Amino acid sequence: MDATGTLDEALERLHHSGPERLGRLTNHAPMAVEALAARGQARAVHRWLDLYAGKLEDFPSRVEPVTAADWRSALGDPRRAADWIDHFEREVTERPWREVLGQWWPRLLPGLYGGSTHPVIRVGHAVRTLLSGEATAPRLAELAHGLGYWAARHRPLAAPAPFPGDDSADSTDSTDTADSAAGALDAVPPIAVQDGGFPARLDRVEALPTWAAGVTDPDEARRRLTELVRAATHRYATHGHGEETMLVHAATAPNAVLRTLPALPPALWPAGLRAAWTASAAVTAMYAPAAPVRSAPPGALTPEEVFERALAHGDEHVIKLTDTALDVGDAPALAAALRSIELSAPLG
């Protein structure tokens, strides 16, 4: 089945819906269908959408257009989601999409933490699609929807204090265990009170290891970001029971940034690393379990078979984590995907 045509049809179908439901929960369908199409499961896209349809809400009402003169006052206002999406649809119609992305990336990056990091994840899926094929109208519109959602949910985070005793920023040799991404995630201190929703918990994150600080070389930033995605994905297998849904984002948010890097000027890559690290480490702190558990190996299952199991399960977060696990591509990552299937409630 033609994945391009199927994905475009699905995106056109979804663009009649808003980026959220119930005023706070994210519409995951555009991200999930992109992952299905990218992983050779285009035949399942519309069937999966039919199951997810009950979670979709109508496109929100418009307030007033966002303009070049007043965009700052509209940033972070969720009531303006439709206005922001309209703005970016005009932008990607009138200018090359990479130019639009490059202009707005540094403006939006400080607010990556809004919407539980879902907006940047949606942008990462949209960029992967645009980089892998033709920039069709539905794909450009999907980038506009992702950027518009990000602008509406833009939520900066005050820089957490360096964790006492953390000296990871003093070394650029991440082969040392203490300076690896896995070691830095292990060093993240859990927040004292683990209750409430994402915004309330985020406000309690006061100190994090400075693992990504001081990196200025674009290639080093990309290497460290790749390492972070691998470490956070592996960690889900042993720590995902802390919160089976929210801990997915410790891996998928930095992977969204990693997927976006090839479309951005390299000078912007180090800032992406720092924001992705803060997001991944903050989620780790916010939903840390009391203790890890032993991870079961994936056995003889191939990556394709693991993804087929994720599709059969149907949960949108399971599909997205499995998609990231296939990017990582090793046995511990596949074990993490299987653990998410085990922990999560199936769709429907």
How far is Cα 224 from Cα 229, in angstroms, rounded to an integer? 9
Encode 129-153: b = buried (16+ Cβ within 10 Å), e = exposed: bbeeeeebebbbbbbbbbbbbbbbb
Residue 253, pLDDT > 50, answer yes
Q: What pLDDT does residue 41 have? A: 97
Exposed / middle / buried, residue 114 (Cβ in 10 Å: 0-12, 13-18, 19+): buried
pTM: 0.95
Q: Left if phi > 0, otherwise alpha if psi is -120 to 50, otherwise beta: which for 285?
A: alpha
Segments making up each domain of the chain, as ranges: 3-152, 161-166+185-348
Residue 152, pLDDT > 90, answer yes
CA-based end-to-end distance of the chain: 25
- Locate 51 and state its tokens: 């199951």
39 alpha carbon, distance to own chain's centre: 17
- Give the tens place of pLDDT for each residue, 36-87: 999 999 999 999 999 999 999 999 999 999 999 999 999 999 999 999 999 9
- Give the tens place of pLDDT for each residue, 188-217: 999 999 899 999 999 999 999 999 999 999
114 closest CA partner among 75, 84, 86: 75
E strand or H helix at 222, and its extent? helix 218-239
- Locate 106 and state its tokens: 């540094």
Do the strands 25-26 and 161-162 form a parallel or antiparallel pair, or are they unpaired? unpaired
Residue 226 and residue 174 in contact, taking contact as beta carbons nearer than 8 Å:
no
Residue 138 and residue 146 in contact, taking contact as beta carbons nearer than 8 Å:
no
Dihedral (C-alpha) 241, 245, 247, 251: value to the nearest 10 degrees?
Answer: 130
How far is Cα 29 from Cα 346, in angstroms, rounded to an integer? 15
Q: Left if phi > 0, otherwise alpha if psi is -120 to 50, otherwise beta: which for 214?
A: left
Q: What percent of the chain has pLDDT over 90?
A: 91
How far is Cα 72 from Cα 85, in angstroms, rounded to an integer? 15
How far is Cα 167 from Cα 178, in angstroms, rounded to an integer? 9
Tokens 């964790």 correspond to 163
How far is Cα 348 from Cα 345, in angstroms, rounded to an integer? 9
Q: What is the mean pLDDT of the chain?
A: 94
Q: What pLDDT does residue 295 have? A: 87
246 closest CA partner among 15, 25, 20: 25
